[in-house]
């Protein structure tokens, strides 16, 4: 039977993406100018999915308000995961909404439709309890690894530490209903029910689990600066065209003397002033304003961001409603970024400004700066390091 329904796991916060996820979950953060979750939906629909069930949890009302009851005329059903107790727990929450085989994907990772289609087709041709999409990448990093033997999954491991020839677990699964009993049968680890542990249990049983090796775009944002690479990968893969003729919204206003360098994407109601330079690799969300003679490149600016005249903004990620004042300089990375008690060296981040940061202008940002929501930067200040929400930085 061809799988036509999908369960999208979108209940988590994305805590490592704070401070951007303080007020909204990771699936609603922008990849270029579109929420990650919408990209996920687009790829599912392109693969032939005709029914969507979304498991929501953290800030669930924001997800439901953003998407609504249908997406591009496809019905959307919501299931609430009251506590975020792992991916297996999230899928169990959707059990009552599942009838027969179903596709399961993560709502915070963008996987190209070709990979999804390969999983659907492979599962239709087998009696396996599960079919996994895997990618032939040798660098698994902090993600899941899969071992295959003639198409059969022999092992699946989160963040493998040994040197066996793992392939990357793409997080695209086709399951028969047996997966639900497998989840219940596995003991929680660290208080969470893991979907990977349940699949491993299926592998150890007499039920077949197969993997299909595929090719295509797979991107994930683990930390805030990853939103830059994710967005740029969408350009490079052609998921977003990025040319001025198609990527500049009809309602955007671009001054005759402004320069727009491809690839870019400029959302509705943006305004680009005289002499401004936008791009390459610039993503302007809805209602963003770029002042005269400002420069914005290699940046993802979320909705309602204001960039003042003669400001320079490079390698920058903003939240919603940010003001970058006139003459402010964000010169770009690399820089050292502190997240909790960890320091990530030489990351390509000029600055991250969370929701409603207000910069009065004439400020300078040391590469790697992270500014929490509702912070205030006085005129002429120097900003460095990681600043908490509602911090005031004086000149």
* pLDDT at residue number 356: 96
Report the distance separating Cα 193 and Cα 198, nearest Å: 8
Residue 164 scores a pLDDT above 80: yes
DSSP states of 52-114: EEEEE-TTHHHHHHHH-SEETTEEEEEEE-SS---HHHHHHHTGGG--SSEEEEETTEEE-HH
Residue 266 scores a pLDDT above 90: yes
Average pLDDT estimate for 255-271: 96
Cα-trace Rg, the chain? 22
Average pLDDT estimate for 141-152: 81
May I ask the CATH architecture of the domain 5-220?
Alpha-Beta Complex (3.90)
Neighbours of 23 (CB within 10 A): 15
Identify which has the larger pLDDT, 62 or 325: 325
Domains 5-220 and 245-393 share a fold: no
Single out the residue of 89, 90, 120, 79 nearest to residue 103, CA to CA. 120
* Phi and psi based region of residue 303 (left: phi greater than 0; alpha: psi -120 to 50; beta: remaining): beta
As beta bridge partners, residue 307 has 290, 324
pLDDT tens string 184-201: 888 777 777 888 888 888
- Omega within 30 of 0 (cis) for the link into 280: yes
* pLDDT at residue number 138: 63
Mean pLDDT of the chain: 90
Residue 352 scores a pLDDT above 80: yes
Average pLDDT estimate for 342-371: 94
Average pLDDT estimate for 146-162: 83
Of these ranges, 4-8, 33-37, 304-308, the one predicted with the greatest mean pLDDT is 304-308
Report the distance separating Cα 43 and Cα 295, nearest Å: 33
Of the pLDDT bands very low, low, confident and very high (cuts 50, 70, 90), residue 314 is very high
Single out the residue of 46, 100, 33, 87 nearest to residue 288, CA to CA. 33
Identify which has the larger pLDDT, 265 or 162: 265
Q: What is 245-393's CATH topology?
A: UDP N-Acetylglucosamine Acyltransferase; domain 1 (2.160.10)
* Max intra-chain CA distance, the chain: 68
* pLDDT at residue number 264: 95
Q: Which two tokens stand for residue 320?
A: 């919603």
* pLDDT at residue number 27: 92
Query: pLDDT exceeding 70 applies to what percent of the chain?
Result: 99
Please list the alpha-helical segments (H only) found in the chain: 36-46, 60-67, 87-93, 113-124, 178-185, 195-204, 226-236, 244-247
Q: How far is CA 10 from CA 39, 58, 106, 250, in A?
A: 13, 9, 7, 32
Of the pLDDT bands very low, low, confident and very high (cuts 50, 70, 90), residue 205 is confident
pLDDT tens string 84-114: 788 888 898 888 888 889 999 999 889 999 9
Half-sphere exposure of 38 (CA within 13 A, CB side): 16
Q: 26 by DSSP, 3-state: which?
A: helix
Of the pLDDT bands very low, low, confident and very high (cuts 50, 70, 90), residue 244 is confident
Q: Which two tokens stand for residue 218?
A: 């797979």
Residue 137 scores a pLDDT above 80: no
Give the pairing of strands 323-324 and 342-347.
unpaired
Task: Identify whether the C-beta of residue 224 lies closer than 8 Å to the C-beta of residue 209.
Answer: no
Report the distance separating Cα 99 and Cα 95, nearest Å: 8
Of these ranges, 17-21, 202-206, 323-327, 333-337, the one predicted with the greatest mean pLDDT is 323-327
Report the distance separating Cα 28 and Cα 203, nearest Å: 34
Average pLDDT estimate for 297-316: 97
Spell out the domain ranges in the chain: 5-220, 245-393
pLDDT tens string 365-374: 999 999 999 9
* pLDDT at residue number 1: 60
Average pLDDT estimate for 260-287: 96
DSSP states of 338-352: EETTEEEEEES-SEE
């Amino acid at each position: 039977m061809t799988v036509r329904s999908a369960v999208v796991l979108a209940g988590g916060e994305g805590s490592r993406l704070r401070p951007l996820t303080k007020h909204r979950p990771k699936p609603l953060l922008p990849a270029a100018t579109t929420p990650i979750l919408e990209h996920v939906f687009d790829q599912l629909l392109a693969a032939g999915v005709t029914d969507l069930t979304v498991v929501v949890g953290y800030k669930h009302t924001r997800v439901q308000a953003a998407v609504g009851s249908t997406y591009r005329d496809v019905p959307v059903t919501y299931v609430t995961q009251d506590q975020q107790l792992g991916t297996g727990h999230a899928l169990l929450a959707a059990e009552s909404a599942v009838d027969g085989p179903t596709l399961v994907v993560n709502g915070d990772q963008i996987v190209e439709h070709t990979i999804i289609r390969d999983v659907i087709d492979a599962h239709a041709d087998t009696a396996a309890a599960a079919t996994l999409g895997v990618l032939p990448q040798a660098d698994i990093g902090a993600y899941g690894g899969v071992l295959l033997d003639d198409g059969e999954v022999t092992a699946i491991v989160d963040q493998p530490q040994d040197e066996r020839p793992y392939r990357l677990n793409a997080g695209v699964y086709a399951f028969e209903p047996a997966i639900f009993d497998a989840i219940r049968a596995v003991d929680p680890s660290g208080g969470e029910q893991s979907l990977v542990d349940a699949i491993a249990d299926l592998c150890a049983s007499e039920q077949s689990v197969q993997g299909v090796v595929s090719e295509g775009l797979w991107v994930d944002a683990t930390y805030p600066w990853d939103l830059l690479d994710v967005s740029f990968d969408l350009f490079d893969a052609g998921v977003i065209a990025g040319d001025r003729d198609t990527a500049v919204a009809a309602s955007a206003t671009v001054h005759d003397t402004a320069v727009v360098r491809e690839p870019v994407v400029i959302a509705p109601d943006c305004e680009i002033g005289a002499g401004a330079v936008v791009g390459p690799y610039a993503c302007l969300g809805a209602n963003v304003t770029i002042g005269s003679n400002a420069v914005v490149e290699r940046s993802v600016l979320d909705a309602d961001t204001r960039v003042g005249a003669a400001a320079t903004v490079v390698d920058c990620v903003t939240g919603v409603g940010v003001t970058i004042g006139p003459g402010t300089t964000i010169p770009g990375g690399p820089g050292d970024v502190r997240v909790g008690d960890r320091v990530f060296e030489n990351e390509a981040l000029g600055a991250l400004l969370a929701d409603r940061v207000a910069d009065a202008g004439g400020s300078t940002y040391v590469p790697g700066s992270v500014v929490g929501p509702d912070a205030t930067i006085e005129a002429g200040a120097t900003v460095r390091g990681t600043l908490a929400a509602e911090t005031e930085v004086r000149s």
